[in-house]
Structure 1
Amino acid sequence: MAIDTDAWRPSAPLAHLRLRAELLNRTRAFFAARGVLEVDTPALSCAGATDPHLASFDTVYHGPGPRHGQRLYLHTSPEFPMKRLLAAGSGCIWQLAKVFRDGEAGRRHNPEFSLLEWYRVGFDHRRLMDEVAELVTALLADRRALGEPERLSYAGAFVRHCGFDPHRAGVRTLRAVCRERGIEPPPGMPEDARDPWLDLLLTHLIEPELGRGRLTFVYDYPASQAALARLRPGDPPLGERFELYLEGVELANGFHELGDADEQRARFGAERAARAVAGLADVPADEALLQALAAGLPACAGVALGFDRLLMLAAGAGSLAAVMSFPIDRA
């Protein structure tokens, strides 16, 4: 087996690493000008991600103290400890965190990556979309000319690109559209669950068309796809959640945050049940977060933005490896 003698070198050119530092400095200035506090929270937690679509790295702590022998999880997002800070009265906060997700590697994925996450007290998801657009436009201003941001409802995106209302279509219709468009479901795809088929159509037919030459926000997701968001009553009820796309790349995921501890506990329970059905390892719910919600989370909206993906677009690069110093194959 041949040895790669250059594997010690960074995969990103130094110009891209300098660009990362520049964008981070501008990000700090953006939040400082708005009075948003930069914070730092632990990467290790006694609770992992219950979301069945996420896989946490875990380890066992062997040191002294009450955590000895306990299984700990590397966070997939700094969301839960940041919400504990919000409940403790921090006010508006942000951080750029290293986060970890097992099983994710590829052109737009790395198991360790940088997530820019912030929370705005008194904002709803619509007002936060405005601020996300301001930040991304400011960071890309000298790199990319962008048209006016677009807002498109989840239903509107499916009507435009697939020709049907996703809130009304049954699984039979979704499977039929996949067959007609030549989309092969992955092995083990459940036949009778709507969300996996909606996701399949979204990733294959809709996402590649979003954000062409401008920022596109998709909002009003199905309630079943908004585990951490408030729900708006109606027929059907909708999650007050948005995602941001640019040039077919998903950049950010935002929520009008759920503050009801009992409802959040029920949602964690449903996710753990779904993990059990899927044969995935159980993950304990974050009791500290639930206690913080019970104590009182201020009305707020929050968003997580993939900083490496934004850097990739700013640099005109084709992969995350081109903007990361040492991705997983060189770590």
Structure 2
Amino acid sequence: MSWQPAASQQMLRKRAGLLARVRDYFRREEVLEVETPIMSRYGNPDPAINSFRTDSDQHPEQYLHTSPEFPMKRLLASRSGSIYQICKVFREEETGRYHNPEFTMLEWYRIGFDHYQLMDDVEAMIIELLPNLMAFERHTFQTLFKNHVGLDPLEATLEELSAKAESLGVVLPEQVERDWLLDVLFDLSVGDWLKQSGGVFVYNYPASMASLAQISPQDSRVAERFELYIDGIELANGFHELQDAAEQKTRFEKDLASREAQGMDQPPIDQDFLDALAVGLPDCSGVALGLDRLLMLQTGAEHIKEVIAFPG
């Protein structure tokens, strides 16, 4: 019957157990749990993400957050120390086996960590929650791309990337962007290998693909970002966080220009977040992890609807 939950009672108990174990991990690590608002005057400028907007006669238009990142960084700038949050987030036009428009995110920030140390942190927590998982592999984006696509993502021209995509049957849009091609080629060519490889950290992405990460001091073509895949499922996305307010504003403006070129809406830039960066964000790394997907991996669920009481 339609009023009943999609998740079984056993699954709901497993979900509660997962949340308790996550909180226990951070309690032992002395990381503070925080809460931040779900609604904001500012949307996400990322061209790959669409925010839900409110419609009210009594209040100005607001956005449901796609991540608690910006207000959490305001807490970090106020010297909160290392923090984490478990919350519902919302992304428009996302639905499918691993996507629900409303889902549960775990996001945390570690003061004094670079992205390598944060990968260690993520791995330690995941091994507690998925004890049957074998040791994690770590590969740079460049290495995997070269091995599976046959091109260097840091050196290949737009024409070379386009030709490779077309050879794989990709229909290119009229105005094709380099980052879109890198994403598509990575998914098509590396995706099957990831499904057979257990836990894999992919790190050091091209600089253009990490709008909130620091640029590597060893190679300015690379940003200090990682993603974690387990059995081919994208589970977490982390950064050695950018601290430069002026550079962050420039990147936001570039994102908005890309959105405009694609006919997308133009959410206002979060000035409160930029002001916090200007005051001073401590050196830190942060990561967002999809808890619904983690529960799917823990229980062997085939669809995200199996692990959410009332999916959208």
- Superposed CA RMSD in Å reads 1.5
Please list, as runs of the form range in 1=range in 2, the aligned pairs for 1:239-318 lying within 5 A after superposition: 239-318=223-302
Aligned residue among 69, 88, 107 for 2:78 = 88
Specify the alignment match of 2:148 in structure 1. Answer: 161
3-state SS of 1:130 partner: helix
Please list, as runs of the form range in 1=range in 2, the aligned pairs for 1:55-204 lying within 5 A after superposition: 55-63=50-58, 68=59, 70-141=60-131, 145-180=132-167, 182-185=168-171, 188=173, 190-191=175-176, 193-204=177-188
Instruction: Provide the C-alpha distance between the structure 1 equivalents of 2:160 and 2:80, rounded to a whole number of angstroms.
Output: 47
Specify the alignment match of 1:41 in structure 2. Answer: 36
How many Å apart are 1:71 and its aligned residue? 1.1
Q: Is the 8 A contact 1:167 1:236 kept in 2?
A: no
- State the percentage of identical aligned residues: 49
Instruction: Provide the C-alpha distance between the structure 1 equivalents of 2:308 and 2:51, rounded to a whole number of angstroms.
Output: 21
Instruction: Provide the C-alpha distance between the structure 2 equivalents of 1:97 and 1:156, rounded to a whole number of angstroms.
Output: 34
Instruction: Provide the C-alpha distance between the structure 1 equivalents of 2:243 and 2:160, rounded to a whole number of angstroms.
Output: 35
Matched, 1:28 2:15: no
3-state SS of 1:71 partner: coil
How many Å apart are 1:164 and its aligned residue? 2.2
Instruction: Provide the C-alpha distance between the structure 1 equivalents of 2:235 and 2:104, rounded to a whole number of angstroms.
Output: 12
3-state SS of 1:232 partner: coil
Q: Is the 8 A contact 2:6 2:310 kept in 1?
A: yes
State the TM-score, normalized to the length of structure 2: 0.96
State the TM-score, normalized to the length of structure 1: 0.91
Q: Is the 8 A contact 1:185 1:200 kept in 2?
A: no
Report the CA distance shift for 1:281/1:237 in structure 2 as closer, same or farther (over 3 A): same
3-state SS of 2:62 partner: strand
Decide which moves more: 15-24 or 79-88.
15-24
Instruction: Provide the C-alpha distance between the structure 1 equivalents of 2:153 and 2:257, rounded to a whole number of angstroms.
Output: 25
Instruction: Provide the C-alpha distance between the structure 2 equivalents of 1:168 and 1:286, rounded to a whole number of angstroms.
Output: 33
Specify the alignment match of 1:9 in structure 2. Answer: 4
Q: Is the 8 A contact 1:208 1:249 kept in 2?
A: no
Instruction: Provide the C-alpha distance between the structure 2 equivalents of 1:105 and 1:214, rounded to a whole number of angstroms.
Output: 24
Q: Is the 8 A contact 2:200 2:228 kept in 1?
A: yes
Unaligned runs of 5+ in 2: none
How many Å apart are 1:189 and its aligned residue? 5.5
Instruction: Provide the C-alpha distance between the structure 2 equivalents of 1:205 and 1:233, rounded to a whole number of angstroms.
Output: 29
Q: Is the 8 A contact 1:183 1:204 kept in 2?
A: no
- Cα deviation, 1:116-165, whole Å, max 9, x if unaligned, reads 00000000100000000011111111xxx222111100011112222221
Report the CA distance shift for 1:232/1:207 in structure 2 as closer, same or farther (over 3 A): same
Instruction: Provide the C-alpha distance between the structure 2 equivalents of 1:86 and 1:103, rounded to a whole number of angstroms.
Output: 31
Instruction: Provide the C-alpha distance between the structure 1 equivalents of 2:195 and 2:137, rounded to a whole number of angstroms.
Output: 8
Matched, 1:325 2:312: no
Q: Which amino acid aligns with 2:43?
A: G
Q: Which amino acid aligns with 1:171?
A: L
3-state SS of 1:84 partner: helix
Report the CA distance shift for 1:83/1:205 in structure 2 as closer, same or farther (over 3 A): same
Q: Which amino acid aligns with 1:268?
A: F
Q: Is the 8 A contact 1:13 1:322 kept in 2?
A: yes
3-state SS of 2:205 partner: strand
Q: Is the 8 A contact 1:57 1:73 kept in 2?
A: yes
Instruction: Provide the C-alpha distance between the structure 1 equivalents of 2:56 and 2:89, rounded to a whole number of angstroms.
Output: 19
Instruction: Provide the C-alpha distance between the structure 2 equivalents of 1:235 and 1:300, rounded to a whole number of angstroms.
Output: 20
Superposed structure 1 runs of 4+ greater than 6 Å apart: none
Q: Is the 8 A contact 2:154 2:221 kept in 1?
A: no
Report the CA distance shift for 1:56/1:230 in structure 2 as closer, same or farther (over 3 A): same
- Cα deviation, 1:269-322, whole Å, max 9, x if unaligned, reads 111111111111111000110111111111000000011011111110111011
Q: Is the 8 A contact 1:117 1:304 kept in 2?
A: yes
Aligned residues: 312
